[in-house]
Structure 1
């Protein structure tokens, strides 16, 4: 149970970081 929860949190954090990077890469240049 704990291992599964930790794995999910790790994947979620990685996915969130990836999405944030992609969004920043698309939005920031457009605003500049």
Structure 2
């Protein structure tokens, strides 16, 4: 069970990182 939660956490971290990267790219393209 702990392993599953750890995998979920890693996935969330990846998604957050991608969202951050996407938002920064969006901002750069706007300016």
TM bucket by the smaller chain? 0.7 to 0.9
Q: How many residues align?
A: 30
Q: What is the rounded CA distance, in whole Å, between the counterparts of 2:4 and 2:20 in structure 1? A: 24
Q: What's the TM-score once normalised by structure 2's chain length?
A: 0.81
Structure 2 stretches lacking a partner, 5+ long = none
Q: What's the TM-score once normalised by structure 1's chain length?
A: 0.79
Structure 1 stretches lacking a partner, 5+ long = none
Q: RMSD between aligned alpha carbons? A: 0.9
